[in-house]
Structure 1
Amino acid sequence: MDYSLENNIAVLTFDDGKANVVGHQLLDDMNAGLDRAQSENAGAIIICGRDGIFSGGFDLGEFKKGIEQGQAMVKRGFELLIRLAGFPLPIVAACTGHCVAMGAFIVMACDSRVGTRGDFKVTLPETAIGMDLPPILMALTESRIVKEHLIRAALQSEMYNPEQAVTAGFLDEVVDAEQLNDRTMEIAQRLSQLPQAQYAANKLRVRANTLSVMADDLASMS
């Protein structure tokens, strides 16, 4: 992860040179970046992927190590989703390309979501690859995906291009790649001007039901 503080906006950029898989290293780095942003009194946070891909989802190599290792990674990933969804600072996702599975859930947990225009796919492939969607993921999905696309996105594993992903509710808007940094910074700057205490409190109120279901499901995994 590359961390920078630009005009009071913390920018967390993830680039593993490959698919930006969500494994222990990314989870460690993401949490460290969130901690640092708070300690440095940042006004907002931007989470940015590498050119062409935001994240390809969980690290499949971790699942191959055994059931316990896979479950431990998944639980940490779910903890991150809850932390992002209820984080006191505004969080803007810069979706730099393909956004798959856990990558899409991370984007949906952010407050504002800007995608990159291009030949990219946004998808929840869980059904297609034989995986369950537990309540923690369904609660987050139902809070962002519009009703008309819920079956297609969550159940039928439909693949969306960036513009279609806006219609479905994965993203708020798309821009050309060369505009992404400026646009996400513009949004983050605007959000950073809102009263921080009220932003944090109202985020918890707006997402109260979603966070409650997510927290209850996480607790059942213990």
Structure 2
Amino acid sequence: MDDGKANAVSPTLQAGVQRALDNAEADSVPVVLTGRPGMLSAGFDLKVLGASGQPAVDMLNGGLDLAIRLLSFPTPVVIASPGHAMAMGFFLLMCGDYRIGARGNYKYAANEVAIGMNMPFSTLEIMRHRLSPAALTRAVALAETFTPDNAVITGVLDAVVDESELLPTALSLAESYTHLNMDAHAASKLRLREDFLIAVKDGLVKDDEIWKYIFLR
């Protein structure tokens, strides 16, 4: 992902990632999702949200549809964060089967409460699945900012590497996963996440009603 700025999870970026996933699924190969130097993503496009209306609702739903697709993707998904991951960028980071971050002065946070927003039901479930119980409370209720120094112990990441090693490590992992039986991988992943995915989808139904109330009034 690289829009030359903050990698906002805009309709355009969503469509680009979905096309890349279409190609990976057609070829039955692992996925490596990364960003631009210093930035995985800063979250949704604030211009679209500020304009309100149906495009805002569609963008929010589209971001969570993308998250659900990553969580249920039939091949392994490696997410390599080269920098900051905030709000929806943080939630997408949670969706990798293996998550790597670059060492550096980077921030990972769900900052909704800090900016006066209620945490969406769907994203709460995504964090519940990946973060440690203590970190979950701090992330949701206190909008705590995590860093590469504490990301592994809190469940934000699986590994932290030097910036120069980020992409090589991600690609090496993806290559190693090509030796898995993809049918067994897909079936086992869905068994593992069955209840979790139901909770995310049920949460999204609630979120959609709230977003329509906020943006379509």
| TM-score of Structure 1 vs Structure 2, range by shorter chain | over 0.9
Decide whether the 8 Å contact of 2:121 with 2:204 is kept in 1. no
Determine which of 6, 9, 12 is the counterpart of 1:25. 12
Partner of residue 126, structure 1:
112
| 1:78-97 correspondence runs (5 A) | 78-97=64-83
Partner of residue 66, structure 1:
52
Amino acid at match of 1:170: V
Are 1:51 and 2:46 counterparts?
no
Are 1:103 and 2:103 counterparts?
no
Structure 1 window deviating more from structure 2 (97-106 vs 133-142): it is 133-142
Partner of residue 34, structure 1:
21
Partner of residue 6, structure 1:
none
Are 1:116 and 2:102 counterparts?
yes
Shift of 1:130: 1.1
Amino acid at match of 2:191: R
> Distance in 2 between the 1:83 and 1:32 partners?
12
Partner of residue 136, structure 1:
122
Root mean square deviation of aligned Cα: 1.2
Are 1:210 and 2:196 counterparts?
yes
Count of equivalent residues: 208
Partner of residue 156, structure 2:
170
Q: What percent identity do the matched residue pairs reach?
A: 36
Amino acid at match of 2:23: R
Superposed structure 1 runs of 4+ greater than 6 Å apart: none
Shift of 1:168: 1.2
Amino acid at match of 1:48: T
TM-score, normalised relative to structure 2: 0.92
Are 1:16 and 2:8 counterparts?
no
Partner of residue 199, structure 1:
185
TM-score, normalised relative to structure 1: 0.90
Considering fraction of residues, name the structure with more helix: 2
Amino acid at match of 1:163: D
Are 1:150 and 2:136 counterparts?
yes
Distance 1:144 1:15, change over 3 A: same
- Please list every run of 5 or more consecutive structure 2 residues that lacks an aligned counterpart in the other structure: 210-217
Amino acid at match of 1:70: A
Shift of 1:40: 2.7
Amino acid at match of 2:110: L
